[in-house]
Structure formats: structure tokens, C-alpha cells
Amino acid sequence: MSNAENRQDRLPYVDAVRRLAASKPLQAMVPGHGGDPDRGGRHLADIYGEAVVRMDAPLMLEGIDLGDDSPMVEALELAAEAWGARRAWWLTNGASQGNRTAAFAVRGLGERVLMQRSSHSSFSDGVLLAGLIPAFVSPNVDHVHGIAHGLTPQMLEDALRTEIEAGRAVQSIYVVSPSYFGSTADVAGLAAVAHAHDAALIVDNAWAAHYGFHPELPESPARLGADLVISSTHKLAGSLTQSAMLLLGDTEFAERLEPLVARAYTMTSSTSASSILMGSLDAARHALVHGTETIGASIRRAEEFRERLRADERFSVISDEFDEFPDIIATDPLHVPIDVSRLGQSGHWVRDRASAEHGVYFEMSTATSIVAILGALASPDLDRLMAVLTAVADEADELRAAGKASDQSGFPQLPDAGTLRMLPRSAFFAESVLVTAHQAIGQVSADTLAAYPPGIPNLVPGEEITEETVSFLQAVAASPTGYVRGAADPMVATFRVVRDPISAAQAG
């Protein structure tokens, strides 16, 4: 066994917190439960167990997180090593914290960022707060199922060329891989294109913190040339909800980015970060490194699930058709997107019936699909899953026979984005006013609006509102299977616009 493998056997942060708990200290400090189930923490111990109360330690403790050679420092080094990164930061406010941190950090490289249009709203928030100037590139979209996929290297190259020819060379790029549905882009190719244009590549890898830990999974983006990777460890990799990591790749941008990320991290992190969440990150790293057999079993279980779905003609596996999209070079086997359109009911109806009537919860739904997520270290009961899907499908058959099929008509095509007339930051903080949808056409949006499906922002602060965008958003809002996030009212009858764009832009 190599020295690196020996190191990965350790749980330095978890063991340090365990030692504190085992010493049964008298805590005349925060947290208010005192770290003792019998002297202030019984209300929590009775719900979560005594270990949680005893191990809920604050920051700034010798032997845990203080010093350059603390157990926390060692644990972070092990995390970076495990994911193939130069450095790792633990996040206790989810991948959203990582997105905001990344936005603040890359502002130090320059003010222009090229974003995949389906970027997470937390990165858009970071762009706004950091004062970045965004440009957008639309991903491939499966309009049948309302799925936003990713970019090819050529799509990125073309978008960068467009910006350069307009005199707007960008310094950072933000892409998403994999998608909610497990479609994985060519990160190595995207990184090569970005670096050829002297731009850093940020990869939203929120849905694949388990990548790189099994030969049948795609590689970790940090090993493929990504400069910053947002890794939502809790989603599939087995840490507790709200825990995540931000990874710095060992690339040509590392020397410039490392101090920028470190400084940005202090702006987004809590001074009371949860030892329970951070310990779960240490434990998840250890489990993944030593979990080849367990991860392999999860992959086999996911494939068995797919085979069972294929055996019922009422279902089909959407990822079986991913080869139609040039941006997809691999599929995460632990994402199982299921086409339920043959049932005559929407995916939302199927998901709701499965949870409300049978206690089975699927990750998400669109008008035509539901998505099952199997954790990399998990082993869900496939018999129960299939029994519930069969029962829901049988119920749908009865409704269809009674002439009660739901409307699954598609949405209009995604409209082109309006012209960015103001910086998002300036538009967001400018004086705004609510106007009717008709009055909003030609004005500047003060809000971010995104129609689901597919969840791509159709407006960001500072963009001109077009007639096509208004029509699209209202069509989605009127559908029983869609909604518009960020809208001032459910039917998108009104828009929040900048009152005086010229004055606001000058002030900004």
C-alpha cells in the first residue's frame, strides 16, 4: 500500500472532534447546549442522539482546527488529494456558497465571465455581487423532455470567438457538468479551449462529487484541467445535507486563483461552521476512497433498475438516447431519467402520486419525465421502487381509459436572450417599478426569471425584455406542468423593471 493510500485511511478531523467529545469537557462557551446531553442538550440528544450533541464543536479549538498542522488542515489536504485537486475548501452552506465564492475569486482575473445559460442561480447571484460582466452561451436542450444539457468544446470556442471579435475577451468561463439528468460534457476539451483563450474554467460539478472514485464513472473534473470545481458532496457522495466542497485544480491559473479563492472564502463562510457537517465531509471522502466495491454495487443496482424499466413498455430510459446530443460524452449511471409520457399523465403527477400515496420520493420531474438519483454509497430497495412505479402506472392507465389524460403539450421554443443594457449589479440595485407585461417589452429587467422546465434563466438583471421572452414565460406559467422562478406574480402578468436605465447605468 502506498503512502498516499495510508494517508487516506485517516479521518483526522472526525477523530479530533471525537477526542474532544470523549474527554467530556465542561464547555463555558458556545454552542448553547454545552456539548453535554445531560447539561443542556437533552432536547437535541433525544431527537438526534447523544453523539451529535457531544460532537457539535465550535471553531477555533486547539487540536481540531487551529494551526497550520491541525487535523482540519490535514483533512482538507486529504480531500484535495482524493479529488485530484491542488487545494480544497469545505463548504457548510452547500454548493451555492462555492458558486458565490468562485464568482468573487474570478473577478480578480478580470471583469468578464462567459456563462452557460443554464448556470445555477447562486452563481448568477455571485456575478451580481462581484460586479462581473456576463456573456452567455446556450447549452444543447432536449425540448421534448425539457432538459438542459451542456456545451461542446466547439460551442465554447465559437462563443469565445464572438466575444473576442466584439472586443469583449473574457477571463473566466462557467459550465455545468453533469446536468440534473446525468449528461456529462467533455471537461478536458472545454478546459483546453478555455486555457487557449487565457480564461479560467469553473465547472459546476454539483451533481457528481462521486466522479473519479470508480473506473466505471467519469473522471473528477479537477483531474481533467478544470481550474475551479464546485462539488456538492451531499448530493450523491454521502455527506450530510448542506455540506459541499470547492476544489482548486493544479493548473496554470492555480497560483493566481489560490489567494483569490482564500480571500473570497472568508467573505462567504460562516465563523460558526458546523463541525457535524465538516465531519461528514471528512467521512464521505474516506468512504469514497475506500468504497470501490460499494460504488460498484450501486452502479450495478442502477443498471438493474434501468433493465426493469425497459421491460415495462410504459416506461423508457431517457439516457438511452443521449448519444443524439454531441455535448454528451458520458452518462452518470447513478442518475436514472425516466420517460413517463406514455402514461398519459405528467411527470409531476407521477412524482406526486409516488410520494403522497406510497412514500417513495423521486428527485425531480418535468412534464414528461421523473428522475431517480441513487447515491454512490446507497442501495435503495429496487423491488419497492418498481412496485410503486407499477402501481402509479396502473392508476394512470385507469385514468387514461376514463378519458382523463393530462395535457402534456410542449412549451414554445426557448427565446433568444435580450441585449444586456446594464450591468446586472447596477440593474438589481437600481430603483425599480412593477409594470404590465405589455409595458415591460423593451424595458430593462431588474429581476432574474427562469422558466421550469428547463430551468434556464430567460432574463437576468440588466437585460432587455423582449416580446418573445414575455410570450414564452407566460406560456410556461399558464401550463399545469411549468412555473417561472423569480416572477413577480404566478402568471407573469407583471415585470419588475429599472425605472430609469440611463441614470441607473451612469450611477452604477
26 phi and psi, to 5 degrees? -90, 110
Do residues 36 and 53 touch, judged by C-beta distance below 8 A? Answer: yes
Q: Which of 403, 415, 444 is nearest to 427 (CA)?
A: 444
Residue 202: which residues within 8 A CB-CB, separation 6 or more? Answer: 102, 106, 123, 172, 173, 174, 175, 226, 227, 228, 229, 230
**Mean pLDDT of the chain, nearest integer:** 94
Range list for CATH 3.90.100.10 in the chain = 424-507
CA distance 73 to 66: 9
| Cell numbers for 487 | 416572477
What percent of the chain shows pLDDT beyond 70?
96
479 phi and psi, to 5 degrees? -80, 145
Superfamily of domain 424-507: Orn/Lys/Arg decarboxylase, C-terminal domain (3.90.100.10)
CA distance 265 to 17: 23
Query: For 3-25+63-289, CATH number?
Result: 3.40.640.10
| pLDDT recorded at residue 208 | 97
DSSP 8-class letter at 17? H
Range list for CATH 3.40.640.10 in the chain = 3-25+63-289
Across 215-229, 275-289, 392-406, least confident range: 392-406
Q: Which helix (H) or strand (E) holds 336?
A: strand 335-339
Amino acid at residue number 496: R
User: Could you count the other beta carbons within 10 Å of the beta carbon of residue 466?
Assistant: 19
Q: If you average pLDDT over residues 323-352, what whole number do you get?
A: 96
| pLDDT higher than threshold 80 for residue 5 | no
Amino acid at residue number 497: V
Highest mean pLDDT among 218-222, 417-421, 453-457: 218-222
Do residues 453 and 409 touch, judged by C-beta distance below 8 A? Answer: no
Q: What is the pTM of this model?
A: 0.93
DSSP β-bridge partners for residue 300: none
Architecture (CATH level 2) of domain 292-401: Alpha-Beta Complex (3.90)
Sheet architecture: strand order including 483-485: 456-459, 449-452, 483-485
Examine residue 31 and say whether the peptide bond preceding it is cis (omega within 30 degrees of 0): yes
Q: If you average pLDDT over residues 116-121, what whole number do you get?
A: 90
Range list for CATH 3.90.1150.10 in the chain = 292-401
- Note the pLDDT tens digit of each residue in 433-461: 999 999 999 999 999 998 876 677 899 99
CA distance 136 to 485: 19
Examine residue 326 and say whether the peptide bond preceding it is cis (omega within 30 degrees of 0): no
284 phi and psi, to 5 degrees? -65, -40
Do residues 109 and 254 touch, judged by C-beta distance below 8 A? Answer: no
Q: Is the dihedral of CA 188, 452, 126, 437 positive or negative?
A: positive
| Residue 64: pLDDT band with limits 50, 70, 90 | very high
- Note the pLDDT tens digit of each residue in 458-490: 999 999 999 999 999 999 898 876 789 999 999
CA distance 146 to 435: 29
